[in-house]
Structures are given as structure tokens and as C-alpha cells.
Amino acid sequence: MQSHSLQFWFEFASTYSYIAAARIERVTTSVNVPLEWKPFLLGPIFREQGWNDSPFNLYPIKGRYMWRDMERLCQRYQLPWQNPSQFPRNGLRAARVACLVQEEPWCPAFVRVVFHANFADDRDIAQTQTIVSLLDSLGQPGLSLLERAESTENKERLRRQTEEAIQLGIFGAPTFVYGTELFWGNDRLEEAIEWYEIHSASRETE
Amino acid sequence: MQSHSLQFWFEFASTYSYIAAARIERVTTSVNVPLEWKPFLLGPIFREQGWNDSPFNLYPIKGRYMWRDMERLCQRYQLPWQNPSQFPRNGLRAARVACLVQEEPWCPAFVRVVFHANFADDRDIAQTQTIVSLLDSLGQPGLSLLERAESTENKERLRRQTEEAIQLGIFGAPTFVYGTELFWGNDRLEEAIEWYEIHSASRETE
């Protein structure tokens, strides 16, 4: 059975995912679209394409555009922005935590502070201590959550979720998914919501 | 001196350029944004990235997404669509003609019928006879225009225009350009126009 939610697939290293994560609840709440937060890893997907780095590094002409575009978009959406001194940063640890707490009401808040650390504060989200302190700042037990996030069982959970992304045909982040329909890129969020509204309404009247 | 127009850079083989070409005048005319139509070739740019084919063929996972996306987008914008039996088609000949007639008031109409032939009628735009008959259908002297388009001087014109695209940092199509600002992708047209409106107005009051 198809999920009733709009899925938001994101990767912590992804600049456009930062913007989408910051604005998605504002957009979906106003139109009553239930949202599922789906962290995954782009690394394994990129490696299957023969890429061992972000395409923005492998294709500098595209990278130059993206960095300028981020400045403009953050201005447009009134989001803080700082060119990260390292890109991409390894989002594995943060993704494992997000996967662990995916159903918690504070998961979106965690996702946003991680993105903020990476792209507004230029902090290294690959470091355990960064993730622990971000969890603590949300009033959550950082150390013990991180320990559970690093368990074999939870590592497997993230692997399965990344596998699910591959099965869906996801190749970049952010991607919005409803059923088998994919909308790739922050700039397609509004269209994904429009699609959701039309097609979830027609399901109800079946 | 910076151009006062919004530039629309397109490539005849590009599916997303088809959509942009079909809708751009409706969008820009309603807000009084002067438009420059800039045909160019993606081939030389792709080759510099190490690609000898469309990235949608080189990365099938991305290709699958694009073909489905085109169906959806054409439905959304109420444009005719037919999966082309060949992709990408060589747009060199059409681009040379478009470059030759770039300043003519019927240039946009020519651009649209070529895109329509490729993506709605599944006709081979690489063929001389296709281009000639499209020109004839617009009441233009097809054969003689094609001859002029294939002159050394005009070939050089298209080469220079593609060189200009590279200098601007263009890496895909469509791309909308105002001054040094690039907006890549059909889905960024509205943002490009918004940018144009804000920044052309501030120039006037300087």
C-alpha cells in the first residue's frame, strides 16, 4: 500500500537539502500535507555512477554555479549561509542518528540544526562531538543516542533506507517522493506538493 | 556594458529547453521583460566534462527520471509530447539557422517549431529537409536560408556564441542569464525573471 505522506529524502552533505529542510515544514504545514523525513546516503549512489566525490567537485563549472546559487537562494529564503571550509562533509554519523529518531517529533529540529551547523556555522558534522552537542542543545541525551545510532541494528537501518532510495530511483538530494513519483531538487518542492494534493484527493474519492 | 535583456540560452537537443521555449514568451511578455534568444551547442561543453553523449544516456537512472518528468511537465504546461525515437538528436543545423535569424521577429516561432518537430512529432531535426520544410511552413525561404546558415561566416557565428556560453559558465540548457547571473533549468525561469525585475529596476535608479 502506498504511503499517505509526502517523503522528503535528504543527505546531510547536500547544500540544496539544507534549503529544503529549512523551508519544507512551512510549506507543507500550511497546506496540511503529512511529511516523512527520510535521511539517506548519496555516497553509495554516486559511487555506482562512477563518482568518488560530489559532482560539484568533479565538475567545477557546475560547482561554481551551485555556490553562487546557494548565496542567492539563502538570501531569497532568508536563511543564514556560510561557504563551508570543507565540502562535502561526511554526513554518515548524523544520518544514522536521524534514522534512529526518524519517528520522533523532534527529528525535524535535529535535521535542521545539523544542516545549520554545516552550512551556516561551518562546523564539522562528521565529528562525534558536534553531533553530541547538537543533540544536547535540543535537550536530548547526546551520548546515549549516538551510541544507539552506532549499533549494528541501526547501521543496518540506514543501509536499508539507502537501498530503498536506490529502488525508488533516487539519484540526488533533496528528492520528494509520493508513491512512485519523484521530484528532484529544492526547486521542485512546490510541484511535489501540488502533485500530492491532486493525487491524494483523487485516491480518497475512489 | 551589460545587456538590458534577459538571455535565454537553449540547445535544440535538450528536452527541458523545449518546455522553456514553449512557455517563455508567455511569462516574459506579461511582465515586460525583453528577451534575447541565444542558441548554442551543448556538445562541446559536454565533451569538456568528459562526456561523449547526453548525461541522460550516460546516467540511465537520471534519464529514467527525466523522461517521466517530461511527461508530467508537458501535462502541467499543456504541451504536446512524444518520447523521441532518437535522443539526443543533432541540433547543429537548426542551431545554425537560429543563429543566423536570431534578430528576426520570427526567430522564436522558428525555435518553437523545431522543438515541436523533435519532441511532439518525433521528426529528425538533424535532416536538412526537415529544417527546410519547417522554414517553408513559416513562410520563409527554407533552402536559401539553410544555404546562408551553412556559410563559413555563419558557422563561425555559432561557434563564437557557444564560446560565449562557455565564458559565461553555462554547463546545461536551458540557462537564463542576466548580466553575470545564471539560472539553470526550466524550473528556474520565474526566479530569473524576479531577479531581472529587481536588478534592472535598481540599475535605472542609480
Side-chain-side CA neighbours of residue B183 (13 Å): 22
Contact B188 A185 (CB under 8 A): no
Contact B61 A182 (CB under 8 A): no
Task: Give B65-97 pLDDT, tens digit per residue.
Answer: 999 999 999 999 999 999 999 999 999 999 999
Task: Give B107-142 pLDDT, tens digit per residue.
Answer: 999 999 999 999 999 999 999 999 999 999 999 999
Other CB atoms closer than 10 Å to residue B182's CB: what's the count? 22
Which of A59, A65, A171 lies at the smallest CB-CB distance from B182?
Answer: A65
Amino acid identity, position B40? F
Pick among 1.10.150.120, 3.10.110.10, 3.40.30.10, 3.40.1740.10: CATH of B6-204: 3.40.30.10
Rounded to whole angstroms, the Cα distance separating A144 from A39 reads 20
pTM flag (> 0.90) = yes
Which is it for the CA torsion B117, B13, B59, A41, positive or negative? negative
Other CB atoms closer than 10 Å to residue A102's CB: what's the count? 17
Confidence at residue B1, expressed as pLDDT on a 0 to 100 scale: 42
Side-chain-side CA neighbours of residue A197 (13 Å): 13
Task: Give B186-199 pLDDT, tens digit per residue.
Answer: 999 999 999 999 99
Contact B169 A64 (CB under 8 A): yes
Average pLDDT on B5-15 reads 98
Confidence at residue B4, expressed as pLDDT on a 0 to 100 scale: 85
Q: Please work out, in degrees rounded to the nearest 5, the angle formed at the alpha carbon of residue A58 by the alpha carbons of A53 and A61.
A: 145
Rounded to whole angstroms, the Cα distance separating A51 from A44 reads 9
Contact list in A for residue B62 (CB cut-off 8 A) is: 171
Contact list in B for residue A72 (CB cut-off 8 A) is: 181, 195
Among B53, B9, B1, residue whose Cα is nearest residue B176: B9
Contact list in A for residue B69 (CB cut-off 8 A) is: 184
Strand A181-184 relative to strand B6-10: parallel, antiparallel, unpaired? unpaired
Q: B190 to chain A, minimum CA–CA distance in Å? A: 11
Which is it for the CA torsion A11, A15, A19, A20, positive or negative? negative
Q: B187 to chain A, minimum CA–CA distance in Å? A: 7
Which of B49, B64, B171 lies at the smallest CB-CB distance from A169?
Answer: B64
Residue pairs spanning A and B at CB distance below 8 A: 41
Q: Please work out, in degrees rounded to the nearest 5, the angle formed at the alpha carbon of residue B78 by the alpha carbons of B98 and B34.
A: 45
Query: Does ipTM come in above 0.85?
Result: yes
Domain spans, chain A: 6-204
Contact B49 A61 (CB under 8 A): yes
Could you give the C-alpha distances from B32 to A74, B59, B182, in angstroms and in order?
A: 27, 39, 20
Average pLDDT on A60-78 reads 97
Confidence at B203, pLDDT banded by 50, 70, 90: low
Task: Give A88-136 pLDDT, tens digit per residue.
Answer: 999 999 999 999 999 999 999 999 999 999 999 999 999 999 999 999 9
Q: If interface means Cβ-Cβ distance under 8 Å, which residues of chain A face chain B?
A: 49, 59, 61-62, 64-65, 68-69, 72, 76, 169, 171, 181-182, 184-185, 187-188, 191, 195
Which of A61, A169, A187 lies at the smallest CB-CB distance from B188?
Answer: A187
Quick check: helix, strand or coil at residue B7?
Answer: strand
Strand A35-39 relative to strand A6-10: parallel, antiparallel, unpaired? parallel
Partners of A183 in the beta sheet? Answer: A176
Rounded to whole angstroms, the Cα distance separating A198 from A52 reads 39
Confidence at residue A1, expressed as pLDDT on a 0 to 100 scale: 42
Partners of B183 in the beta sheet? Answer: B176
Q: Which of A129-133, A191-195, A198-202, B35-39 has the lowest mean pLDDT?
A: A198-202
Contact B59 A68 (CB under 8 A): no
Average pLDDT of the residues of chain A: 95
Which of B59, B169, B187 lies at the smallest CB-CB distance from A187?
Answer: B187
Rounded to whole angstroms, the Cα distance separating B120 from B135 reads 17
Confidence at residue B190, expressed as pLDDT on a 0 to 100 scale: 96
Task: Give B23-78 pLDDT, tens digit per residue.
Answer: 999 999 888 999 999 999 999 999 998 999 999 999 999 999 999 999 999 999 99
Q: If interface means Cβ-Cβ distance under 8 Å, which residues of chain B face chain A?
A: 49, 59, 61-62, 64-65, 68-69, 72, 76, 169, 171, 181-182, 184-185, 187-188, 191, 195
Task: Give A6-16 pLDDT, tens digit per residue.
Answer: 999 999 999 99
Q: A118 to chain B, minimum CA–CA distance in Å? A: 25
Confidence at residue A69, expressed as pLDDT on a 0 to 100 scale: 98
Confidence at residue A131, expressed as pLDDT on a 0 to 100 scale: 98
Contact B76 A191 (CB under 8 A): yes
Other CB atoms closer than 10 Å to residue A60's CB: what's the count? 12
Instruction: Name, in order, each residue with C-beta under 8 angstroms of A113's C-beta and a sequence gap of 6 or more.
Output: A134, A137, A138
Task: Give A165-189 pLDDT, tens digit per residue.
Answer: 999 999 999 999 999 999 999 999 9
Rounded to whole angstroms, the Cα distance separating B43 from A58 reads 18
Residue B72 φ then ψ, to 5°: -65, -45
Say whether pLDDT at B171 is over 90. yes
Contact A61 B169 (CB under 8 A): yes
